[in-house]
Copies of this chain bind each other. A is one copy, B any other.
């Protein structure tokens, strides 16, 4: 289960978006009809997506590693303390797909993405992202330079 590739998908007049077959195939076999969209916790204008199981697994890791072994119990009782996993849950929505893999993009996501006729779907391995196509282009260009620098840095550190 690893989301790869970047795919430009049409947003039609009815506000529908297709989750590409390449991504649908990465959803768990027993839960192909729905997935989760949630706002990026620290990058405005980006929406993250994952399978329900993948999203839940991330929350579990978050609670375990951020809060320690007693985290789960504490979170269940302590409403005063900040709970990052709870924060993400509130920003997330379960999205049901039609049998053909399409779904209607909730307006809250469409507006932060600022998309009107196309959405860029980007695989990030253990999750995927929705981007405004133009913004993704810019991000991608800047990442390309960072990647080249990163590779150069590996060589230097080695020697």
Listed in ascending order, the chain A residues whose CB lies under 8 Å from chain B are 2-6, 22, 36, 38, 40-43, 46, 48, 52, 56, 58-59, 61-62, 65-66, 70, 72-73, 76-80, 82-94, 122-127, 129, 140, 143-144, 146-148, 150-152, 154
List chain B residues, Cβ under 8 A from A42.
Answer: 77-80, 147-148, 151-152
Assembly CA distance A86 to B123 (angstroms) = 8
Q: Out of B43, B58, B123, name the residue touching A79 (CB < 8 Å).
A: B43
Copies per assembly: 2
Name the 9 nearest CB pairs between A and B, nearest first.
Answer: A43-B79, A89-B125, A40-B79, A86-B124, A4-B92, A5-B93, A82-B146, A43-B80, A42-B148
A133 to chain B, nearest CB (A): 14
List chain B residues, Cβ under 8 A from A38.
Answer: 4
List chain B residues, Cβ under 8 A from A56.
Answer: 2
CB-defined A-B contacts under 8 Å, sample of 27: A2-B52, A3-B89, A4-B36, A4-B89, A4-B94, A5-B90, A22-B94, A40-B79, A41-B147, A42-B78, A43-B79, A48-B79, A58-B76, A58-B77, A61-B72, A61-B73, A61-B76, A65-B70, A76-B127, A82-B147, A84-B150, A86-B124, A88-B147, A89-B123, A90-B123, A90-B140, A92-B123
